Structure 1
């Protein structure tokens, strides 16, 4: 079954929200949240991870809808569809820079909204072919920017919804500008993809910038998730079902890092 497009509504007029919900209730789209201002939209973006945001440009107060769109896109490369009662030329130019997939003026008839969204998504996907998809074969290579939240590392596919639970990354290994992410079986099952590897076209240090401090750089080419560290042997580490070689001279610094983490947890 095709996964429905998840829509976040950002609108501060209750009647407009009701009209939008009425328009979408008999479609295949799924409303995953409603927000009336910038801050609540940001909170819902982080918890619900929508695919598309229906966003009122003229939100009362500040920040306005355009600034809200800019903030949302910093969290995830989400699609923006603006709804507005009126728009000055200056506002239009600002809005255009956020690369929305569509505009619709209020008031609108219920089916106008549905058709405009359908058309906008169709045109977006036609104009953004498979180079943005995450491929699903063994030697998978990702040449795309990364985005992270407290829970997820995003590797955009065609609909910008491919995400990896950071907690389910066991360790990372780099080679010649590419970094391979080794995932738990739980994560591979959740992704429902028949892949053995996820490889990102970025160096290890660059990827670590997107990850929390539970990840420890063991060497120039290997970083481990300390939460998956089960055992430290003389020459190797055990992380779940994986064994990772322990380079000479790295055992003691690793033990010191573990002790520091344990001390912080006790306090």
Structure 2
């Protein structure tokens, strides 16, 4: 993660504030302030020597200035990019949040994943915004011509690829590498900024065709021709020579056979 990125947080729920603070710290972000009311945030911001790169705001908070009004002032007076995290997801709220450019995540979607939130923070801080970027938005759920689009984090930047284009995701020391087909049909490999376990938590829960087959590998079953056995080991074979055969871990073999035919 980009550890130079500074964020400010508005959240009046003690548990939610603690959870969000822990999540942001795990991503390497610097929290300049954690506030429970819009008035306190705006008053203290005047005392800061430097402005935050991104503001993460709840909407329904105590005090006379709610999250949307706080966001409007942050945008109009300081040009600070905004991310909303809120339980509110009604038509009136959706209409109001369009008063200011912002990325909106509903807390009803369980918990915003680290990949989605960190990607949003990084893109806003770096000024790398999708268009349009106001209103109801979630990077991982964007639609493209080839289906769902996955945001992959690399260095200080992000790039997007079709989930269907992924062939294989493999562990490489402290990071995961994604092997995929680019728009021209060539095989590309890109590093992410997280470990394979985190990729599994974020992507495999969203795309049922991405499955873990060993401690080191996640595969796209749509890119697999079948399972073959060599000696005591079973391997996944890929279509069109996308990749050499990949061995299947013993603990994964039974579940994998239920989804992939043996050849």
Query: What TM-score does the superposition give when structure 1 sets the normalisation length?
Result: 0.42
Q: Which has the higher strand share?
A: 2
Q: Which has the higher helix share?
A: 1
Query: What TM-score does the superposition give when structure 2 sets the normalisation length?
Result: 0.43
